[in-house]
């Protein structure tokens, strides 16, 4: 997919672009210290600081406020205003896709302020992540792991881990030889904060049951991350199958549709093709990923999921992390 020239930007302020993400694996488990593996995707939020502008959302407001506080004394020289952000590429047919638009909008907003202040985001990614992750978490009411922000800031394929009480760890990964990834969607819009809140409520009501339900998710996430890093495709697919099954159990216990009926059918189809299909993110029928050991099996999956009411998304993977966009340049 060739990135469009999304906006006729104003002269004077730098223009930045921040990508979305897909979870390959680690949803929910990452909230408990387990690793998550994500890929940045080639759908971008494009931002530019505009003097006198008002924030378009709470994500933008929190990001600009956090950036002005986080960059120190250089903020004093900046004009009053906010960031104008275009995130239309995260929607199809008027429906937002679960590809991390809020994290991308937040990251683009922080980076726009940094670039205006003369702090190149390319050489200050840790500062950008720290500010954007805090702002995104605040805008979501304290919910989230920060993994989607990390993918937007760093780009490519990453392993993300947030140790309890510790600072997040981000590690760049290489694509395992032979692994084919299919991104698909059911067409439903799901609220990540609402789904995560329901899981938190389950944890509060039944701590022992929650711990028992999370255990296979965390173990499978560890196995998947290790196999992915070592390029062992059969092992990572096997771990992802265990994880997908455990996601269904978590949804049943928390009484939320993490794995919808159509996604269950997609999972059965993928198993018959030596692969795995699972939700990407909080679930609820939004975006999913299929992992396959060959181009042939991935293509057969892609051609058959339309019969299940699903569709393949034109979403390039391993996209470039947040960056300053040059005039007339592709993203």
Domain locations along the chain:
15-174+317-324, 180-312
pLDDT at 11: 60
Q: Check whether 220 has a pLDDT greater than 60.
A: yes
Residue 97 pLDDT:
87
pLDDT of residue 285: 79
pLDDT confidence of 286, banded at 50, 70, 90?
Answer: confident
144 φ, ψ (degrees, to nearest 5)? 120, 160
User: Band of the pLDDT at 172, cuts 50, 70, 90?
Assistant: very high
Nearest to 287 by CA among 41, 19, 46, 31: 41
Burial class (CB in 10 A: 0-12, 13-18, 19+), 264: middle
Give the pLDDT confidence score for residue 246 in this predicted structure. 97
User: How many contiguous H segments (helices) and E segments (strands) does the chain have?
Assistant: 9, 12
Residue 327 confidence (pLDDT)? 54
CA–CA separation, 314 vs 168, rounded Å?
30
- What would the two tokens of residue 58 be? 């709470």
From CA 25, how far away is CA 35, in angstroms rounded? Answer: 9
- Look at the block and give the residue holding tokens 């339900």: 213
> Domain 180-312 belongs to what topology?
Alpha-Beta Plaits (3.30.70)
- Coil, strand or helix at 275: coil
For the chain, the distance separating the N- and C-terminal CA atoms, rounded to the nearest angstrom, is 11
Query: What are the Cα distances from residue 125, in Å, to 93, 198, 227, 322?
Result: 33, 33, 27, 9
List, for residues 196-211, the tens digit of each pLDDT value: 999 999 999 999 999 9
pLDDT reading at 7 higher than 50: no
Share of the chain above pLDDT 70, in %: 94
On whether the CB atoms of residues 286 and 312 are closer than 8 A, the answer is no
Please tell me the distance from the alpha carbon of residue 64 to that of residue 13, in angstroms, as a whole number. 15
Reported as type and span, the H/E element at residue 153 is: helix 147-154
pLDDT of residue 3: 42
Q: Cα(171)–Cα(32) distance, rounded to whole angstroms?
A: 18
Residue with tokens 């771990």: 239
User: Binning pLDDT at 50, 70 and 90, where does residue 6 land?
Assistant: very low
* CB contact at 8 A, 180 and 293: yes
pLDDT in tens, 99-126: 999 999 999 999 999 999 999 999 999 9
Distance CA 269, CA 331 (A): 35
- A 10 A CB-CB count for 249 gives 16
| Model confidence pLDDT, tens digit, residues 131-170 | 999 999 999 988 889 999 999 999 999 999 999 888 999 9
> 15-174+317-324: which CATH number, 2.60.40.10, 1.20.950.20, 3.30.230.10, 3.40.1670.10?
3.30.230.10
- Quote the CA–CA distance of 20 and 41 in Å, as a whole number: 5
Rounded to whole angstroms, the Cα distance separating 10 from 12 reads 6
Q: How far is CA 161 from CA 36, 93, 231, 255, 284, in A?
A: 6, 34, 19, 27, 24
Q: What is the pLDDT of residue 1?
A: 43
pLDDT score at 91: 87
Q: How confident is the model at residue 94 (pLDDT cuts 50, 70, 90)?
A: confident
- Please give the model's pTM, rounded to 2 decimal places: 0.92
Kindly report the average pLDDT of the chain as a whole number.
Answer: 93
């Amino acid at each position: 997919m060739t990135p469009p020239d999304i906006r006729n930007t104003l002269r004077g302020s730098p223009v930045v672009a921040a990508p979305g993400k897909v979870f390959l694996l680690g949803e929910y488990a990452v909230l408990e210290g387990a690793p998550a593996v994500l890929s940045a995707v080639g759908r971008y939020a494009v931002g530019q600081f505009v003097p006198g502008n008002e924030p378009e959302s709470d994500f933008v407001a929190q990001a600009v406020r956090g950036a002005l506080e986080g960059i120190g004394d250089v903020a004093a020289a900046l004009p009053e205003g906010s960031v104008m952000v275009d995130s239309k590429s995260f929607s199809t047919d008027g429906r937002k896709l679960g590809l991390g638009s809020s994290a991308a909008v937040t990251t683009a907003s922080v980076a726009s302020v940094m670039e205006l202040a003369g702090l190149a985001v390319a050489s200050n990614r840790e500062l950008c992540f720290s500010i954007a992750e805090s702002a995104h978490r605040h805008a979501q009411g304290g919910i989230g792991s920060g993994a989607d922000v990390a993918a937007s800031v760093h780009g490519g394929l990453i392993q993300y881990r947030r140790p309890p009480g510790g600072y997040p760890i981000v590690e760049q990964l290489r694509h395992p030889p032979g692994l084919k990834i299919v991104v698909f969607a059911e067409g439903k819009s799901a609220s990540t904060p609402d789904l995560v809140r329901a899981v938190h409520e389950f944890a509060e009501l039944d701590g022992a049951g929650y711990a028992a339900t999370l255990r296979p998710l965390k173990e499978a996430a560890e196995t998947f991350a290790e196999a992915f890093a070592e390029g062992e495709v059969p092992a990572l697919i096997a771990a992802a199958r265990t994880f997908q099954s455990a996601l269904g159990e978590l949804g049943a216990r928390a009484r939320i549709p993490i794995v919808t009926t159509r996604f269950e059918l997609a999972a059965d189809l993928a198993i018959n093709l030596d692969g795995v299909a699972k939700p990407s993110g909080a679930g609820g029928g939004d975006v999913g990923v299929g992992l396959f050991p060959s181009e042939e099996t991935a293509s057969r999956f892609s051609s058959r999921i339309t019969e299940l009411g699903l569709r393949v998304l034109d979403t390039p993977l391993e996209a470039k992390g947040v960056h300053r966009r040059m005039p007339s340049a592709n993203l």
